[in-house]
C-alpha cells in the first residue's frame, strides 16, 4: 500500500507540475503582450521550483520502495507502512518548501535595474538572476548548494537502492522472478533517467556556461516530462500494453 501511495503522489504531481508553466507560456506565444508582473514571475518560479523539488524527492522514495519490495519482500508491509509512506511524503513537501523559500529569496531579493527582459520561456532562476544589478555570487552559490543537496542527494539514494536491487536480482534463480523485478523497476528507471538527465544539465553547471540549449532542455524538464509520467507508469497496465501492441501491428 505504501508503494502504491507514493506512485500515485508522483503521478498526480507530474500532472500538477506541467500546468504551472504551460498555460502562461502558450498565452505568451499567442499574444503580442508578453509581460508578466514581478509578483506573478516570483509566484511562477516558486510554484514550479516547489513541485520540481518534491518530484525529485518522491523519485528517491520510490526507488527505496522498490528496494524494499524486491530485497525484503517479507518485511515490506512492516517497513513501508501507510503511516511511514505519509511521513515520507510530508517530509519531502516540507523540505521542498523550505528549500524553495530560500531559493526564491536569493533570486528575487536583489535589485533590478532594467530593462527587465527575461530571455526564457518562463521565470527560471538563471535568466532572472541575469537581470539583477547587484552582486549575485553569494546567491548563485546558495542556489547551487540547494540544487546539489536535492538532485545529488536524491540521485545517491536512487543509485544505492538500485545497486542493492541488481545484486538481489542476480541472485534469483528463477527467470520469472527476474522478469517480475525488471517490470517493477522499468517505468521508474525511465522516469528517473529523463528527469535527472535534464536536471543535472540545467542546474548543476556554472551560471556562465548556460547556453541557448538550456531553453530546449527546460521545455523537456518543465512541460514534456511531467506530462509523460502518467503514460510511463501506465505501461505496467496490461490493457495499455495490449493496445500498444495492437497499434504497432496495425501500423506495420
3-34 pLDDT, tens digit each: 555 554 544 555 555 566 666 766 766 777 77
Residues 22 and 223 sit within 8 Å (Cβ to Cβ): yes
DSSP state, residue 132: B
Q: Which of 111-115, 201-205, 232-236 has the lowest mean pLDDT?
A: 232-236
Query: What's the mean pLDDT when you consider all of the chain?
Result: 76
Whole-number pLDDT of residue 214: 66
Whole-number pLDDT of residue 179: 76
Residue ranges per structural domain of the chain: 2-251
Average pLDDT over residues 39-66: 86
Model confidence band, residue 155 (pLDDT cutoffs 50, 70, 90): confident
Whole-number pLDDT of residue 120: 74
Choice between 214 and 146, residue whose per-residue pLDDT is larger:
146
Is the predicted pLDDT of residue 98 greater than 90, yes or no?
Answer: yes
Q: What percent of the chain has pLDDT over 90?
A: 6
Whole-number pLDDT of residue 139: 85
Choice between 232 and 158, residue whose per-residue pLDDT is larger:
158
Query: Residue 79: is it exposed, middle or buried by C-beta count within 10 angstroms (0-12/13-18/19+)?
Result: middle
Choice between 89 and 202, residue whose per-residue pLDDT is larger:
89
Over residues 241-251, the pLDDT tens digits come to 566 566 666 76
Is the predicted pLDDT of residue 207 greater than 60, yes or no?
Answer: no
What is the sign of the dihedral through the CA atoms of 68, 72, 78 and 79? negative
Whole-number pLDDT of residue 94: 92
Residues 127 and 89 sit within 8 Å (Cβ to Cβ): no
Give CA angle at 175 (172, 179), nearest 5°: 95
Separation of alpha carbons 176 and 188, rounded Å: 20
Separation of alpha carbons 62 and 196, rounded Å: 14
Average pLDDT over residues 108-123: 79
Q: What percent of the chain has pLDDT over 70?
A: 67
Overall CATH class of domain 2-251 = mainly alpha
Amino acid at each position: 500500500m505504501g508503494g502504491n501511495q507514493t506512485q500515485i503522489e508522483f503521478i498526480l504531481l507530474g500532472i500538477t507540475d506541467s500546468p504551472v508553466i504551460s498555460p502562461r507560456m502558450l498565452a505568451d506565444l499567442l499574444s503580442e503582450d508578453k509581460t508578466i508582473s514581478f509578483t506573478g514571475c516570483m509566484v511562477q518560479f516558486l510554484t514550479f521550483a516547489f513541485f520540481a523539488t518534491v518530484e525529485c524527492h518522491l523519485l528517491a522514495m520510490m526507488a527505496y520502495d522498490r528496494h524494499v519490495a524486491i530485497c525484503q519482500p517479507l518485511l515490506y508491509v512492516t517497513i513501508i507502512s501507510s503511516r511511514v509512506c505519509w511521513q515520507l511524503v510530508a517530509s519531502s513537501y516540507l523540505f521542498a518548501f523550505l528549500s524553495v523559500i530560500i531559493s526564491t529569496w536569493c533570486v528575487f531579493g536583489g535589485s533590478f535595474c532594467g530593462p527587465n527582459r527575461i530571455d526564457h520561456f518562463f521565470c527560471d532562476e538563471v535568466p532572472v538572476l541575469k537581470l539583477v544589478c547587484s552582486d549575485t555570487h553569494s546567491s548563485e552559490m546558495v542556489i547551487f548548494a540547494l540544487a546539489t543537496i536535492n538532485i545529488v542527494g536524491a540521485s545517491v539514494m536512487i543509485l544505492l537502492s538500485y545497486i542493492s536491487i541488481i545484486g538481489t536480482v542476480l541472485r534469483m534463480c528463477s527467470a520469472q522472478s527476474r522478469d517480475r523485478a525488471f517490470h517493477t523497476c522499468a517505468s521508474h528507471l525511465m522516469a528517473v533517467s529523463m528527469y535527472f538527465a535534464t536536471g543535472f544539465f540545467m542546474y548543476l553547471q556554472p551560471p556562465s556556461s548556460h547556453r541557448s540549449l538550456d531553453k530546449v532542455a527546460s521545455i523537456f524538464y518543465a512541460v514534456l516530462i511531467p506530462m509523460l509520467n502518467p503514460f510511463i507508469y501506465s505501461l505496467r497496465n496490461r490493457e495499455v500494453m495490449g493496445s500498444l501492441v495492437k497499434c504497432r501491428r496495425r501500423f506495420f
